[in-house]
Amino acid sequence: MDLMRAIVDRSSVRSYADRPVPPELLEQVLQAGVCAPSANNSRPWHIVVAQREDLRQALAQTHEWSTFAAGAPVVLVICGDRRQSETYWIEDCSAAVENMLLAAHALGLASCWIAVRGETGESERHVRGVLGIPEHVGVLALLPLGYPAQAAAARAPRPAAAHVHRETW
């Protein structure tokens, strides 16, 4: 799939087919994540691959918007080691997430960015407890991953003009 087509066509999917993700496709999605750019080439990301039913169910209880993750055959948990990049781990891991979202779509898979990191830290504590993530590692997002339960409707490219300012505001 052409990169621009993947960017335009990708959408957040919250319903997954009862079909496993082939290991070779999962590895390609993970590889896309670790190929993301990072500040000072620190590469602080860590990705926990949760495929066990009990872990996926527990991760789906992270907050009110994460429940659909239980229906995906894989949940990727994107984390960043704050010791490797105290200042930019969030930006670095966000770049990894976007790479994985685009790679998944290009491979015929689907996903949805579920934010974990937040003001209260409650969701992050929940995920940390479920997976035994060390305290020095921040938890950014959950990415349920699987085949979409239904094909997404095609959509037109969004016009950039309303969001782009040239030279000055």
Report the CATH number that the domain containing residue 29 is assigned in CATH: 3.40.109.10
Give one word for 158, left, alpha or beta, with left for phi > 0 and alpha for psi -120 to 50: beta
Q: How many domains does the chain divide into?
A: 1
Does any domain span residue 68? yes
Does any domain span residue 104? yes
Quote the tokens at residue 113. 């960015």
Choose among 144, 14, 30, 139: nearest CA to 78: 139
| CA dist., res. 50 & res. 72, Å (int) | 10
Does any domain span residue 167? no
pTM for the model: 0.93
Does any domain span residue 155? no
Does any domain span residue 14? no
Q: Rounded mean pLDDT of the chain?
A: 94
| CA dist., res. 122 & res. 45, Å (int) | 21
Max CA pair span of the chain: 52
Query: Which of 5-9, 29-33, 159-163 reaches the highest mean pLDDT?
Result: 29-33
The CA-CA-CA angle for residues 103, 107, 108, to 5°, reads 120
Does any domain span residue 120? yes
pLDDT 10s digits, 128-151: 999 999 999 999 999 999 999 998
Does any domain span residue 166? no
Portion of the chain with pLDDT greater than 90, in percent: 82
Query: Looking at residue 13, what is its pLDDT?
Result: 86
Give one word for 21, left, alpha or beta, with left for phi > 0 and alpha for psi -120 to 50: beta
Does any domain span residue 1? no
pLDDT at residue 105 is higher than 80: yes
Segments forming the whole domain that contains residue 98 = 20-149
